[in-house]
Amino acid sequence: MLNSRFFGCAAAAALACLLGASQVSAQSYPARDVTFIVAFAAGGVADTVARLVGQGVSARLSRNVVVENRGGAGGNIAAAAVARATPDGYTLLVTTTAMAINETLRANKGFAASDFKTIAIVASSPESLITSASNPAANLADFIKTAKGKSINFGTAGVGSGSHIAAEYFFKEIAKISAVHVPFQGGAPAMNATIGNQIDLLATTLGGGAAAQIGGGKVKGLAVASAKRAAVVPNVPTYAEAGYANFEAASWVGIFAPANTSPEIVAKLNATIEEVMKDPQITQKLTSIGFDPIYGSQTQAESYFRAEVVKWGKMVKTLNLSIN
């Protein structure tokens, strides 16, 4: 016959051992190199931020951070790989707003947002609308005024991107004008088409190359979808200044771990990344390309991500968009 008192003591001892092992594991973490699996190709926004953050994490934890790019399926290939990875803190996902969008947009992913813990949201760049430098419109209000009753088009880096969804939602649900989406195979050809006046507008983030092109005078910034003007392009007004209050959208970069990763390891990573994001050199580099550095607790990051899933999901459903 089992002794219930003995069983209770044994269970308590086992729990204490598990908790102790978890704490020891966190203290000794990392014992080897950490891999950042980036959900998009080398040279893109997620990759650029991953390498900046990775260098800072490596310096502070005295371990290499290996950046591995696994682009494809709108970020889902990398996300699926990390969802299946051993939850030990050595395989982490670096992705973008696509992670929140895909929860509603893409079926048959093989994973869900609940398969991850958000370690940190590290950078954010506002969505923007830009046009050819030769376009006579001075700002978004001017452009919309002349576009009423006409059919215009807008380009993006691809179907299902944050820029695509935010712009289409704005035109259909807020500005109430007809706008045809012209998807390109990436940001570079879309930007070239804008510079060459081959499309009416380009929906993109400041960090996706718009800030540099606006600064160089090759395109004209009509509006940024942020609460205030961006420091990197201070002459570009907000959507609110054009008469469209409360429309804000941004692309962010976040770092995620498999859901069952030890809370102590997640907390250690969050604290380390927060140190990195407070580094003035990192801040300057990100700001110069159109990103705002972000830092905060793991709980704040998790709450932000969950709210983004809801926000983008609402837009996707309203537009009746889906990708199998």
Alpha helix locations (H) across the chain? 4-28, 45-61, 76-83, 98-105, 140-147, 162-169, 187-195, 210-215, 263-277, 280-288, 298-319
Q: What is the mean predicted confidence (pLDDT) over 232-255?
A: 95
Do 89 and 160 belong to one domain? no
Residue 5 has pLDDT above 80, yes or no: no
Report strand pairing: 178-183 vs 292-293.
unpaired
Examine residue 6 and state whether it is found in any structural domain, yes or no.
Answer: no
Percent pLDDT > 70 in the chain is: 92
Is 284 within the bounds of a domain? yes
Given a cut of 60, whether residue 15 has pLDDT beyond it is: no
Grade residue 155 by pLDDT with cuts at 50, 70 and 90: very high
User: Could you tell me which of 253, 315, 279 has the C-alpha nearest to residue 78?
Assistant: 253
pLDDT tens digits, one per residue of 173-214? 999 999 999 999 999 999 999 999 999 999 999 998 899 999
The pLDDT, as a whole number, for residue 72 is 93
User: Dihedrals φ, ψ of 57, to 5°?
Assistant: -65, -45
**Least confident piece of the model among 21-30, 237-246, 247-256:** 21-30
β partners of residue 257: 117
- One domain for residues 144 and 226: yes
Inform me whether the pLDDT recorded for 100 exceeds 50.
yes
Among 17-21, 227-231, 244-248, 280-284, the range scoring the smallest mean pLDDT is 17-21
Under a CB-based contact definition with an 8 Å cutoff, are residues 69 and 47 in contact? yes
Closest CA to 97 of 254, 298, 271, 255: 254
Q: Quick check: 53 and 122 in contact, CB under 8 A?
A: yes
* Residue 324 belongs to a domain: no
pLDDT of residue 245: 92
Looking at the structure, tell me whether residues 229 and 297 fall in a common domain.
no
The 10 Å CB-count burial string (b at 16+, else e) for 173-206 is: eebebebeebebeebeebbebbbeeebbbbbbbb
Mean pLDDT of 239-256: 95
- Residue 13: per-residue pLDDT: 46
In which residue are the tokens 């429309």 written? 247
Band of residue 10 on the pLDDT scale cut at 50, 70, 90:
very low
pLDDT of amino acid 211 = 94
Confidence of residue 151 (pLDDT cuts 50, 70, 90): confident
| Residues 50 and 67: beta-carbon distance below 8 Å | yes
Cβ density class 29-62: b for 16+ within 10 Å, e for less: bbeeebbbbbbbeeebbbbbbbbbbbebbbeeee
DSSP letter for 67, please: E
- Determine if residue 268 is left, alpha or beta; phi over 0 gives left, psi from -120 to 50 gives alpha, anything else beta: alpha
Alpha-carbon distance 158 to 273, whole Å? 30
Domain ranges, residue 286? 31-125+251-319
Q: Clarify whether residues 234 and 281 are in a common domain.
A: no
Q: Please state the pTM of the whole predicted model.
A: 0.89
Of the pLDDT bands very low, low, confident and very high (cuts 50, 70, 90), residue 6 is very low
Pair (130, 233) in one structural domain: yes
Task: Collapse the DSSP code of 285 into the 3-class scheme (helix H, G, I; strand E, B; otherwise coil) and give the result.
Answer: helix
200 and 268 belong to one structural domain: no
What pLDDT score does 316 carry? 98
Is 218 inside any structural domain? Answer: yes
Model confidence pLDDT, tens digit, residues 255-307: 999 999 999 999 999 999 999 999 999 999 999 999 999 999 999 999 999 99
Domain count, the chain: 2
DSSP class of residue 63 equals S
Last residue in a domain, options 242, 270, 289? 242
Task: Provide mean pLDDT across the span 303-315.
Answer: 98
